[in-house]
Chain A
């Protein structure tokens, strides 16, 4: 069952070998794994050639063509990572290569900064390891787990009974080095750049519904008082009490809760916050007095979720060879841990590891995987009921995946 199962047959039918490795199933699971019915069909599945030809010279994407193909025959595994970024709305189809590169860079930097922030609170983040035991008590006392990794590894092996010993892969270390060097960005310069970019290159964070409108505005700047304008108003409403119309308020709530992560649009706000610790503010913007206590509480709460994430990470898509690698388990853990930190409203909820895993598998870059996952979560949260966010949201995500990618459908049927 699971993701692995759904993808198994896909592998066999692929005409190329490149993508096989990421879906490979560990031999001991092959019998248990359910077979997928998905296979790329010529003329129906979105092929790499068709995908490339849907871009104009400077990078505008004819999303209509793409969607029709995706709907008819799914996406060829080779290009899934790129396609999903568009389908999830990470990038505006009407942006240029250049704009997207810049945005990607900013997003990676933003993720790097958040990760560094998390790392300062919990050193396991970004270390190529993960935790499966509580690191802190409920009242905030650190729990010392000397050589916790070793213990965890043993336990995990036990659980899985057939697993090979968990090791720190070289890859993981390399990865970390890369990230460390690239992430700590001097905030000042960047901030300026950010602002400039925004003025010139437009919002490249397409609102799901108003994608096309956004695009128009991006290219032909003349002011059009439409959705975008409203959004801007809303933004202002948060900082200065201007006309608290019902609508604006509602939207504020939405923003504060469901989508606190918007590096591009909110960059101005973010830049201010980055020097300190930004995300906490998003949750409780008006609580200056108990601020410090509140902040501590938030950190404790976050740390309390880390081992839960770890417990789930080790049992996410574990039939895949991909997760034999300690570095890949740690990648999934890192993404979820960082997400839990920047979206405190949701934090971590069981089931999120399953939503995140396909992104971590498909997108090689951890930051890119994070942002795809963040888009998924927005869609999930957008239609959920407060008490059981992921539960109800899953239905929606399920629909999205049914539509986008038949092969993954049965994966989400598991729920």
Chain B
């Protein structure tokens, strides 16, 4: 059954989308997970997520992508939002310099709330609006290098580089995970494997414990 095939995967990776309001986070998500671009998309309320299963370096990865409202006041729910996230796509709008200037704030946000090993990718979206470009590729590139982030420019509207962006970040996450797996002889510690217990990093002791042990 196609359905079952869809549900079988080697790894489940949670990746969050962050960035200013209106940069196109939701459309990146819909382009990646459903290959859709919604011209009449609305502002995101709270948190949404979607998944897609794909092959990365020969493994079946289920990518669980979380999308959130860009408005600052929704930051109240961020700790839950970042929990367990292995990757973050930090999106800005290439036509709006202010959204690029705010990238540093989002990085701080990540450092404050997310796991310190989280893989971060900077994404300049809306490259289809060529005549309106306000952020030079080189500027973003050098900023990303300085901050140690990977970087790509995308157009969710024209479906340019979206697949590549997700593939890249999922690949990076996979490499990190598999390295850890090799070194510890344990199944991928920070990812959830279907049918297996989620192992919290560094605590191999509680793998077999029932969740509600009432002595």
* Residues of A near any B CB (own CB < 8 A): 1-2, 4, 28-29, 32-33, 133-134, 154-155, 158-162, 308, 311-312, 315-319, 347, 349-351, 353-354, 387-388, 390-391, 394, 414-415
Contacts and interface: CB of A to CB of B under 8 A. Distances in A.
Contact of B132 (A28, A154, A319, A354): A154
Given A349-B74, A388-B46, 5 more contacts: A159-B22, A315-B40, A350-B74, A354-B45, A394-B45
Given A349-B73, A387-B76, A315 B22 contact: yes
Interface of B: 21-22, 38-46, 69-71, 73-74, 76-77, 95-96, 98, 126, 128-129, 131-132, 157
Contact of B95 (A33, A155, A350): A155
Given A155-B96, A387-B77, A353 B43 contact: yes
Contacts, number: 83
Contacts of A1: 38, 40
Contacts of B69: 350-351
B44 A350 contact: yes
B132 A315 contact: no
Q: List the 8 closest A-B pairs by CB distance, nearest first.
A: A351-B45, A158-B129, A312-B43, A387-B76, A311-B22, A391-B46, A350-B71, A350-B43
B46 A2 contact: no
A32 B38 contact: yes
A350 B40 contact: no
Contacts of A158: 95, 126, 129, 131-132
B42 A316 contact: yes
Nearest to B76: A387
B36 to A, nearest CB: 10
B48 to A, nearest CB: 9
Contacts of A2: 40, 42
A interface SS class = loop
10 contacts: A155-B132, A158-B95, A158-B131, A318-B39, A318-B40, A349-B73, A351-B43, A353-B43, A388-B76, A390-B45
B129 to A, nearest CB: 4
Nearest to B71: A350
A134 to B, nearest CB: 7
A308 B43 CA distance: 10
Contacts of B131: 158
A351 B42 CA distance: 9
Contacts of B40: 1-2, 4, 29, 32-33, 315, 317-319
A134 B95 CA distance: 15
B132 A308 contact: no
Contact of A315 (B42, B77, B96): B42
A160 B39 contact: yes
A35 to B, nearest CB: 15
